[in-house]
Amino acid sequence: MDAENCFFKDNSFDIVVGQDILYHLDISQACEEITRVLKPNGRAIFIKPIGHNPIINFYRKLTPQLRSTDEQPLRIIDINYISKYFYKMDVEYLVLISLLLIPFLFFGFNCPLKNIKIEINYFE
pLDDT tens, position by position, 47-101 = 777 777 777 778 788 888 887 877 777 788 888 888 888 878 887 766 555 556 6
Q: What's the CA gap between 49 and 80, in Å, rounded?
A: 16
Sign of the four-CA dihedral 72, 79, 90, 34: negative
Number of domains observed in the structure of the chain: 1
Residue 59 lies in a domain: yes
Query: Does residue 64 fall inside a structural domain?
Result: yes
Question: pTM value?
Answer: 0.67
For 35, the domain range is 27-122
Taking the C-alpha atoms of residue 118 and residue 18, their distance in angstroms, rounded to an integer, is 10
Query: By the 8 A CB rule, do 108 and 102 touch?
Result: no
Own/partner pairs, 72-78, CB within 8 angstroms, 24+ separation: 72/23, 73/23, 73/48, 73/49, 74/22, 74/23, 74/48, 74/49, 74/50, 74/116, 74/118, 75/51, 76/52, 78/22, 78/27, 78/51
Q: Would 76 be classed as within a structural domain?
A: yes
Say if 20 falls within a structural domain.
no
Q: Is residue 10 part of a domain?
A: no
